[in-house]
Amino acid sequence: MSEETIRIATTPGDIPQEQRDGLSPLEREILDFESKLWKKTAIKERAISTQLGIAPIQYYQYLAALMERPEAIEYAPATVRRLTEAFAARTAKRLV
């Protein structure tokens, strides 16, 4: 039987980023990507496919789910706030 070494994290740098903020690398990449301002939707959607390697519909599904997560709010507060306000404005416009 082999012995396993248990490593105890002593500093924040010892803890992998994924464990520190509760977001996957893809989720952090999506939030970082969304923080950029895009002039044209077509260009943004092409970049989603090429840079992130996912379909735009998947991207927007991830983004909608991330808007509700405290970890995302903590990781990218300005981006999440902007998205939440934009979503609320679109919803209000539809209701009028």
pLDDT per position as a tens digit, 7-23 = 444 444 554 554 556 89
**Domains in the chain, number:** 1
Query: Any idea what the Cα angle at residue 34 is, between residues 33 and 40, rounded to 5°?
Result: 100
Question: Does a structural domain hold residue 38?
Answer: yes
pLDDT tens figures, 25-82: 999 999 999 999 889 999 999 999 999 999 999 999 999 999 999 999 999 999 999 9
Question: Does a structural domain hold residue 4?
Answer: no
Query: What is the domain range of residue 85?
Result: 23-95
The C-alpha atoms of residue 21 and residue 94 are separated, in whole angstroms, by 35
pTM above 0.75, yes or no: no
Asked if residue 5 has pLDDT above 60, the reply is no
Question: Does a structural domain hold residue 78?
Answer: yes
Question: Does a structural domain hold residue 16?
Answer: no
Question: Does a structural domain hold residue 40?
Answer: yes
